[in-house]
Structure 1
Amino acid sequence: MSTSIPQQHAPDEPDVFPPTLREVLLRPRWIALLALCLVVAGVFAWLGQWQLGRALDTVPFEPGQSEQVVPIDQVLQPSTYLNAPVEGQQVTVTGHFVAGDYLVVSRRMNGDVQGFWVTGQLRTDAAAPTSLAVALGWAPTVGQARAAAADLNRAAVTPVTVTGRLISDEGPIVPPRDDPMAILSMSPASLLSRWHDIAGLDVYRAYVVSNTPVAGLVQIVSRPPQAGSQVNWLNLFYAAEWAVFAGFAFYLWYRLAKDAWEKEVEEILEPDPGAPGEDAEHRR
């Protein structure tokens, strides 16, 4: 009686070998997506370079240049932000103040004393309806400020020329609950919500501190800007942000391609759950 020795079978080799990541990345689909990412990254890089150019002032202003009075449209346009090099520039602008829009702004320091500002909406002589917020003077008490604003609101509207220092928007501050109508910061956006006749109105984001106070008010202390860094840090941050976006475009391409490769490898190497397994063969 002969006995048969069971033969050892070599493990089954897969019929199809999975592709490498490099092979997947070189497929036309992913090369086309890479080309698209290059275009997107190029746009982001251009935006970053533009912001970097705005952040670095390669032509510093001469000392005392901020005290040379220039027309406002030479340094700032409506609806645009005020760049650091022209912060505090002395400007001149003509127009007329809108009756009923003289408002009081609280918590304003004049030297070392806290008080109140009286502000007005100056409708400029531009072809399109354009307004500029102007701080007209300071008062030590709210009563004096409100009285001056009331007198201005009753006065006749006449053409005026305002000369003063150009200052950046401070941003709105939420008023306290006990005085919801209070204005706590010099923000043209906050003042715009209280102004009249604003349909289709273009507004300067910055405001002007007038050199000449109106009757009943004290001149606002407005010192020349101190010489400092010629770097606009906000624009520099935006430039770095665009660089990150450009890098993320390539990372997104790589991550999508790698996920597709891992899924393909998994489908090839995992056994088909519907096919009979090795244990079923031995049980026959």
Structure 2
Amino acid sequence: MLRVLLSPRMLAFHALVALIVPSFAWLGFWQLDRWEDESAKVALQEANMAAAPVPAERLTAPGEDLSADEQWRRVTVTGHYTPEHELLVRNRDGSRGVGLHVLTPLVTEGGTALLVNRGWIEQPPTAKTRPDVPPPPDGQVAVTGRLRFSETEESTGIRVRDGLPKGQIMIVDVDRIAANLPYPVYGGYAELTDQRPEGTDQPEQVPPPEPNTGMNLSYAVQWWIFTAIAIGGWVFLMRREIADARSNDESAPPEAAAGTPSGDGAGGPDRESPRSGARL
């Protein structure tokens, strides 16, 4: 058995299994960790969206980044829209395909603005065509919206490019937008969920995100299945090699097994049969 299991071919196979099995097991636990992280994010997201709305100034402030624990929280703010500073965010999905998000600052009585994503509109026929944007309600408006992080190229995977039509942007980079506005701007921005008065023919509201923990749990299970297959294949091959070696030993001639030289007779080539009458 040791002769078979310690043969050069089997030693190479042992080394391969010793490398594969811990690697596959580690990949499974890595995917499990990712699934747990995504599940925690989804749980926080659902809890924040279900929480009662609070005034925006309790969760964010001008020039400050939004806390990771506060994303998706609903906030309320009262003020007036400034459509002269309105921006259109390109390449955003809606119910009828790719279009634009309408981002309008809402200035509070204290003079601080919150960027409000009022919703989705259809893409115009050409990039240079001015889209038909529904105007926001006039006068004082009470807005409720979900807080979102300021966007970056890294967080969105969208590359910012120059040469866009006036008033259009690729990502909602709050700091860059605030630098071109005449009033301070809260950190983060809000996706509109409700406003009073509602206004007429408003953009299509951005729907809440669907809970998604990804495929990481299934990937973890797959890696562990691969680990079990590798171990099972290793055991199967060892058993087969041992069985083949035993079968070869049992089927070998006794003379070969004993190491006796073979010839035409038991006594060798010079030994004559007693029936011949020759001397032995």
TM-score (norm 2): 0.48
Which of these two proteins has the greater Rg computed from alpha carbons?
Answer: 2
TM-score (norm 1): 0.47
